[in-house]
Amino acid sequence: MSAHITPPPVDVVTLLITVVTALLGPDVARMVGPYIVIVFGAMLGSAWSASRRNTETLRAAGTHMLRHVGLALLITVPSAAALGEWLGWDHKWLLGPVAALIGGIGHDWPRVGAWLLGLVGRGIEALVQRRTGAEPPKGDGQ
């Protein structure tokens, strides 16, 4: 009977932890590796969102990027963990894409928030209608 050895997961976080281990040691690498992925992902996303804005100076673009990289540092891990739990995926695979999405939304967060609130509201309304058997409200022209 041959023992089947499962190869270690090869994701960007594991790769960076391996590289940082050679430079700073394993303890620091395990802590810093995921945040390097988050910063790179958020920088890519916020650079894209900055390119959509009319930034007159390099300083304004840098401030925009700094704000959104900071936001990504705060909310990427819990967001990726929740999304990973919902999808049944390892959250490490989601750190970079989630950070890039957070940075890429940029100054459009109020519009995204309004869209999400509308989505939640419609979901709650549909749930209440199903439970009560109520008819959905008729729109104009119906």
Please state, in angstroms and as integers, the Cα–Cα distance from residue 58 to each residue in 55, 98, 111, following that order: 7, 25, 25
Q: What 3-state DSSP class applies to 37?
A: helix
Locate all alpha helices (DSSP H) within the chain, ordered by sequence.
12-24, 26-52, 58-87, 95-105, 109-132
3-state secondary structure of 125: helix
pLDDT tens per residue, range 102-130: 999 988 889 999 999 999 999 999 889 88
Q: Tell me the percentage of the chain whose pLDDT exceeds 70.
A: 88
- How many other CB atoms are found less than 10 A from the CB of residue 39? 19
Q: Among 13-22, 35-44, 100-109, whose mean pLDDT is lowest? A: 13-22
